[in-house]
Structure 1
């Protein structure tokens, strides 16, 4: 086939894909929706912390069917096409249908597997599927997974048949708010602060070719005080005598090398380490290789940042959150990561970066990722741009316990919910999986297991486990929830709309004090709202000028709180979400409601080091 004929064929294939797919109309959308290529959506490599060259992106048009629960046989016919990895309820999926607890969602796709990927092992990766799924390859079960926010993979080597044609089928069941599983803000009947369900595949699906002995995962822990990086590596199918080689790079310059037993932790000494921070987000490259008799069997590329998240007492004896042994006031928006066209999934990688870039440009240095876990590339962009992240555990199994707003006060019920053994196990399993997959990102400086008593249970036990499992980060036990239990290193108050803080005289000597949510100032912008009527904010305004005037008053009140002991604050929120119009941006990201330069200059006063005495 000539190059011209090949180009024409590819052009025809793209045209055919566009003809078969279009977004579901009826709601607002971002400008990036028009840039979605149904032949190759979200084409970027999905796992920046563990990079190999041999991979195939399986995003694109799949067949789908919505069938009654109990339909466990692979369907012989389908309702139409769905664009993966956008959830079936989303506009960008091309479907826009609800599924619900009484139905299951089926996906199907045939692929051509290149001959070069037939050697070694073949892994099928899913970035995230909400919630429970079974995966079949060529009609045989490849594996099962439950968890809407953690990545997983299956070894397909034994299931691949001769020839290039292979078939993949996926069955998904998601009870949304009718089940005990983590689901964040999803509900079957969206209203108020609760949003549209997200069912099925919502992150990239991809194939990876690896050798028989291969690197599964790495765990990288920086220690800036010792000028070291500790590296643990999980390797599949090790053989006797295999060695691990780990090298750290500053650009083209190798700064550290360590070799040894793959089953032991390796320590790399990093001379004169360049520290990672919002002002200077320097990242070292990392190469990890498995060697056998001097020959490289497998090698992956990664990166790391030398940074320390901790707390220390100031001159007044009040605990402060610190970064790299210095107090840095952490200020950022509550970021829920929702999109009017893709729901949980940003239309493009450019869109995914946009929220972080604008947050940085507005003068924030932190983002609280609220009851959602993002694709790996979101954290990669935070690492590259220098954005601190507080990572929430997605909430679930809500109701049944009391939200206590006063210290030492119980207002008619148990502060901790009694969860069923099934519910507890689901929470613990997914929280551990989320922490494992997010561990290497230097941008994440705090874990938040619970939010506002939403399903909060066994608080001290869960928080103590979290602190022990990852002592390299601070743990904010219950952001705005039942926080007066003495658990965790951070005490977090939610109050709307004006900023306030916990009493430093009572709590400051023991825990860092933060304002986990405030603000919520609303301004609906005509032509940019999810609904024409019924939109709301915690406090609504009619024009941008009045909104910015009130915001200015709020921010101007925070330096006094910082002097008194406040370590961080979170403003609600980055963007409007569905009927909530209290975002800095409209839901479609087309309108910034307050002046960018004005906000940036206003925020600079919060980072004045003279506010705190050491």
Structure 2
């Protein structure tokens, strides 16, 4: 079993049982075994077959620890692509739709407290272009920017015991200007009220706050002053620290809820938050009230042997460390909602994340509704991660191909923006990234028109076009704004650029398929990367850039790392260039 770490690191309970490992797996008329949570199309699943079936079945047996008897037993799934129905001991305990988000079911009344059986039936319509599928290709082979599809369970499965009184969710909203954090939480419907909730906040193992509140209602909030600590002489002493990529300070939190009768702890959750602020001012992006230049990598989140699931938890950590070693301060996740373990390491190591949603391809009102529902689940899951500074939804008008002059698709884009802003006022929001923007906090543009190394004229056009908003249109494939929308002094970020592939022979028949937006010899790459970034850094209107891309993915060979996530170039050479812009 490769994935044994606790799957939900910012909402952690001590008691849990991992159900990852070898399961029975059925597809078509075949019966085999699969290593969960790796999808059957991946090598690490033990199958590695690009199936054509839309319907697959998982089966397994498990036992629940006897000492958990008398508590509510919950089964949790990190993510299953796409629709699924879960059976415990041949009884349906629940269904879920959406391939990017977690779900759980209370299974206590279905247990026999001996050898339990679980069956997970999954439907993943591989050719349905109305469901959020991102880069998962619907044809038989990968090509261009489309990759191998992923069917079924792709994040961890686990059990946990819960008392009747327990936390359903906890949200942290920091305010560095006031030096406070607002803590909101909801107790379970079966909670015994009134009860007390205890909160302990620590910074670098030093207690910052310890208190409790009597709860007469299931949903409550409190605001804690974390930047002030009362000294012995009665004066206030400033102890606050900000979270940033350079100094990723996290405040640790332990929250307990008692049972309402004896005062004994019924539930205990360990979490954390970061005191950080992101906002826009004078056309610039500010982090913690200081202008902050975005140096990002486009990150698809694919691995050669395991596709959209990292082989191990350490792989998430290693990726971020390698990106930072090259002088990047963040990533724009692309067409994929990443595993919470990645976000944990981004929080821990200090790495900005522009969160993304997988796109659908054919617009219908039903597709729009499905997308919006799942996107709200994403925000609810990831609200507490300080590393996330941008919510990004649509990409290059995918799923909304008539958005330029179609009022229905424009309204969908706008509704996404305003809905997110209505529930999270602390982050920046982009409704359509690349072009044909309607409303958003960032003017996000894509351009790969820097020209081949020999094409000095095109490179000059690229460099000059980056110097003003009026000339940006020269290097963007479509209109910057949808009809009826216009620039409103937002920060401008080149959110896709580069895509430089190396002129190297690939193995077997893959040689013809390997590609990038431009190509160059390996020994010339550093000079070419310097030339590209020099044009970007020379632009006074840009607040950052996002280089395409972090790693090679299948036939798309324009990564700074290989498809096995190894450096192609000396990281210090890339960092030297990136460090030229502060």
TM-score under structure 1 normalisation?
0.83
Counterpart check, 1:173 vs 2:123: yes
Q: How does 1:384-423 map to 2 (within 5 A)?
A: 384-398=348-362, 419-423=363-367
Counterpart check, 1:538 vs 2:517: yes
Q: What is the RMSD of the two structures over their aligned residues, measured on CA atoms?
A: 1.9
Q: How does 1:188-203 map to 2 (within 5 A)?
A: 188-189=138-139, 190-203=142-155
Q: Cα deviation per residue 1:91-145 (whole Å; 9 max; x = unaligned)? A: 1111123344x53100000112221222311111111100000000000001000
Alpha-carbon separation, structure 1, partners of 2:317 and 2:16: 23
Q: How does 1:126-525 map to 2 (within 5 A)?
A: 126-163=77-114, 165-189=115-139, 190-236=142-188, 237-260=190-213, 261=215, 262-271=218-227, 272-291=239-258, 292=260, 294-313=263-282, 319-398=283-362, 419-456=363-400, 457=409, 458-483=412-437, 485=438, 487-498=439-450, 501=466, 503-504=468-469, 510-523=489-502, 525=504
Quote the offset at 1:252 in angstroms.
2.5
Quote the offset at 1:230 in angstroms.
0.7
Identify if the C-alpha distance between structure 1 residues 462 and 124 changes in structure 2 by more than 3 Å, giving closer, same or farther. same
Quote the offset at 1:259 in angstroms.
2.9
Counterpart check, 1:560 vs 2:538: yes
The residue aligned with 2:37 is 85
Q: Cα deviation per residue 1:526-551 (whole Å; 9 max; x = unaligned)? A: 5689934421010011x322111111
Q: Any conservation in 2 of the 1:63–1:108 contact (CA below 8 Å)?
A: yes
The residue aligned with 1:53 is 14
Q: Any conservation in 2 of the 1:373–1:391 contact (CA below 8 Å)?
A: yes
The residue aligned with 2:578 is 603
SS for the counterpart of 2:344 is helix
The residue aligned with 1:589 is 565
SS for the counterpart of 2:73 is strand
Alpha-carbon separation, structure 2, partners of 1:595 and 1:568: 23
Q: Cα deviation per residue 1:320-366 (whole Å; 9 max; x = unaligned)? A: 11100110101111000011110101111122222111001100001
The residue aligned with 1:411 is none
Quote the offset at 1:211 in angstroms.
1.2
SS for the counterpart of 1:176 is coil
Quote the offset at 1:257 in angstroms.
3.2
* Deviation >3 Å, runs of 4+: 499-509, 524-530
Q: How does 1:23-62 map to 2 (within 5 A)?
A: 40-62=1-23
Identify if the C-alpha distance between structure 1 residues 452 and 104 changes in structure 2 by more than 3 Å, giving closer, same or farther. same
Q: Any conservation in 1 of the 2:74–2:106 contact (CA below 8 Å)?
A: yes
Q: How does 1:92-103 map to 2 (within 5 A)?
A: 92-100=44-52, 103=54
SS for the counterpart of 2:3 is coil
Quote the offset at 1:555 in angstroms.
1.2
Alpha-carbon separation, structure 2, partners of 1:180 and 1:144: 20
Alpha-carbon separation, structure 2, partners of 1:461 and 1:444: 21
The residue aligned with 2:477 is none
Q: Any conservation in 1 of the 2:467–2:541 contact (CA below 8 Å)?
A: no
The residue aligned with 2:481 is none
Q: Cα deviation per residue 1:427-455 (whole Å; 9 max; x = unaligned)? A: 11100000110110000000111100001
Alpha-carbon separation, structure 2, partners of 1:305 and 1:492: 26
SS for the counterpart of 1:476 is strand
Consecutive unaligned residues of structure 1, counting only runs of 5 or more, are 1-39, 69-77, 314-318, 399-418, 608-614
Alpha-carbon separation, structure 2, partners of 1:268 and 1:433: 27
Alpha-carbon separation, structure 2, partners of 1:307 and 1:367: 17
The residue aligned with 2:69 is 118
SS for the counterpart of 1:350 is helix
The residue aligned with 2:479 is none
SS for the counterpart of 1:463 is helix
Alpha-carbon separation, structure 1, partners of 2:534 and 2:496: 16
Alpha-carbon separation, structure 1, partners of 2:535 and 2:365: 45
Alpha-carbon separation, structure 1, partners of 2:497 and 2:129: 30
Alpha-carbon separation, structure 2, partners of 1:167 and 1:447: 39
Counterpart check, 1:575 vs 2:528: no
Identify if the C-alpha distance between structure 1 residues 340 and 228 changes in structure 2 by more than 3 Å, giving closer, same or farther. same
Alpha-carbon separation, structure 1, partners of 2:415 and 2:394: 12
